[in-house]
Amino acid sequence: MNEPTAAGADLEAPAPLDLPTGGTVAAWTERYGNALMNTFGRPRRVLVRGEGPYVWDADGVRYLDLLGGIAVNTLGHAHPTLTAAICAQLGTLGHVSNFFATPVQVSFAERLLEISGASAVPGSRVFFANSGTEANEAALKMARRTGRPRVLALEGAFHGRTMGALALTHKAAYREPFEPLPGGVEFVPFGDAAALEAAMGDDVAGLVLEVVQGEAGVRPLPPGYLAHARRLTQEHGALLVLDEVQTGVGRTGAWFAHQHPELGGGVRPDVMTLAKGLAGGFPVGAVVAFGERAAGLLGTGQHGTTFGGNPVAAAAGLATIGVIERDGLLERVRDVSERLAGALRRLPAVREVRAAGLLVAIELNGPVSTAVAEVALEAGYVVNPVTPTALRLAPPLILTWEQVSGLVDVLAGLPADLVAGEVAS
């Protein structure tokens, strides 16, 4: 009988293919413009390498990555445990399709059920996808399967860019060029409990919420709103779907934002969608269905995916969860968040700080976020102007206070017009 070769045995071997090297940021930016669609606009820099919370551009300049690939690089860049897990799995069994199962896929699902608390609800199950938008797409199909016509989402919501997820996304500029979108979705004003109550009924299939609206500028639901939403959905038999694509997997200092005492207070959803940080940078998405009713909505043959549950993605997810636990990162997130928010709040350039663990919005005194982000980038800090007036930070959870404190110094030294929030004329 043939024994399989040791996983990852060839890790030290030199890469046999020619990865592109050399070339300046300017040269690669030019080539980017001639090779890629312009959906994302001009890239801020061309990056060639990362280590821990740092990245380097093609000109050799180092940056502290406080965006983390938009809340994705949970363990920073080139984390040895994550890298080893991915390489070992890829060197053993890289893909099988969903006609087959793998131990890593099963174990990953079991871990998700465990840390989400879903394993305490009999019948809970996981569906794997490859991105946030796909996870939400699956959740919307689950809602349809209730047989009820209406789905409620919130003003300001972002749930993704495929047609179904886009139907749940509120922003007109994202939606309007692609209408007609799948119907039945209604938007209710953000955080308005009375409006939600008025919209709710026995014909509602589901209510889709972000515990903290990420793309809208890190806006947490008001205290008590989620509990109210849970009561209403329960009363009317509607699904409570929490989109934790951006807030899940440790980002807020709890495994999931809805478990955080100040954000969700332990409300239990029927469906939770995940992606972004779930596998530390490897593409993955997941739907966790709490209990038998939710888990049974998509029957055999009613949904599917070629890549979903891919063993390499599953290995990356298991490693990410494993390191968060092993290294006590949830506690680190809470600690760094508190110190950072405290320091930022003392700055004259900062009007308000909204911090949900290491998902942070820095509200400035006016519509200068793009200009301030540029100053920060020039100083070696990657931050994201998430709204005209706010910067977003979603750094790796391995970040230390010592590393991030330099950003506070940069913001303390901003020129007077940016401190005042005035756009230079």
Taking CB under 6 A as the rule, does residue 159 contact ligand PLP? Answer: yes
How far apart are alpha carbons 369 and 388 in whole angstroms? Answer: 5
Tell me the number of residues near ligand PLP by CB under 6 A: 15
The binder of ligand PLP chosen from 245, 349, 356, 373 (CB under 6 A): 245
Taking CB under 6 A as the rule, does residue 57 contact ligand PLP? Answer: no
Q: Cβ 382 to ligand PLP, closest distance in Å? A: 17
Classify residue 107 by burial, with Cβ atoms within 10 Å: 0-12, 13-18, 19+.
middle
Tell whether residue 133 is among the known ligand binding residues.
yes
CA angle 371, 374, 378 (to 5 degrees): 145
Tell whether residue 161 is among the known ligand binding residues.
yes
Stretch 204-233 residues interacting with ligand PLP (CB under 6 A): 210, 214-215
Q: Do 184 and 206 touch, CB atoms closer than 8 A? A: no
Closer to ligand PLP by CB, 153 or 294: give it: 153
How far apart are alpha carbons 335 and 232 in whole angstroms? Answer: 35
Q: Cβ 187 to ligand PLP, closest distance in Å? A: 15
Closer to ligand PLP by CB, 236 or 303: give it: 303
Taking CB under 6 A as the rule, does residue 160 contact ligand PLP? Answer: yes
Taking CB under 6 A as the rule, does residue 381 contact ligand PLP? Answer: no
How far apart are alpha carbons 47 and 44 in whole angstroms? Answer: 9
Taking CB under 6 A as the rule, does residue 356 contact ligand PLP? Answer: no
The binder of ligand PLP chosen from 54, 108, 128, 158 (CB under 6 A): 158
Cβ neighbours of residue 171 closer than 8 Å, sequence gap 6 or more: 158
Residue among 260, 421, 416, 397 nearest 332 (CA): 397
Closer to ligand PLP by CB, 63 or 158: give it: 158
Tell whether residue 306 is among the known ligand binding residues.
yes
Taking CB under 6 A as the rule, does residue 246 contact ligand PLP? Answer: yes
Residue among 146, 142, 154, 227 nearest 185 (CA): 154
Give me the sign of the Cα torsion angle 404, 220, 335, 68.
negative
Q: Cβ 132 to ligand PLP, closest distance in Å? A: 2
Closer to ligand PLP by CB, 105 or 131: give it: 131
Q: On the CB side of 71, how many CA atoms lie within 13 Å of its CA? A: 29
The binder of ligand PLP chosen from 89, 124, 131, 310 (CB under 6 A): 131
Taking CB under 6 A as the rule, does residue 133 contact ligand PLP? Answer: yes
Cis peptide before 415 (omega within 30 of 0): no
- Pinpoint the alpha helices (H) of 252-328: 291-295, 311-326
Closer to ligand PLP by CB, 216 or 344: give it: 216
How far apart are alpha carbons 134 and 160 in whole angstroms? Answer: 8
How far apart are alpha carbons 317 and 285 in whole angstroms? Answer: 10
Q: Cβ 423 to ligand PLP, closest distance in Å? A: 28
Measured from each CB, the residue nearest to ligand PLP is: 132
Taking CB under 6 A as the rule, does residue 125 contact ligand PLP? Answer: no
How far apart are alpha carbons 129 and 307 in whole angstroms? Answer: 7
Residue among 419, 418, 4, 84 nearest 280 (CA): 84
Q: Cβ 22 to ligand PLP, closest distance in Å? A: 31
Taking CB under 6 A as the rule, does residue 137 contact ligand PLP? Answer: no
218: left (phi over 0), alpha (psi -120 to 50) or beta: left
Tell whether residue 45 is among the known ligand binding residues.
no
Q: Do 216 and 158 touch, CB atoms closer than 8 A? A: yes
Tell whether residue 158 is among the known ligand binding residues.
yes
Closer to ligand PLP by CB, 157 or 289: give it: 157
Tell whether residue 305 is among the known ligand binding residues.
yes
Taking CB under 6 A as the rule, does residue 250 contact ligand PLP? Answer: no
Which x/- pattern over 259-298 shows residues binding ligand PLP (rule: CB under 6 A)?
Answer: ----------------xx----------------------
Q: Do 286 and 278 touch, CB atoms closer than 8 A? A: yes
Task: Tell me which residues touch ligand PLP (CB under 6 A).
Answer: 131-133, 136, 158-160, 210, 214-215, 243, 245-246, 275-276
Going by the annotation, the residues of the binding site for pyridoxal 5'-phosphate are: 132-133, 158, 243-246, 306
Going by the annotation, the residues of the binding site are: 132-133, 158, 161, 243-246, 305-306
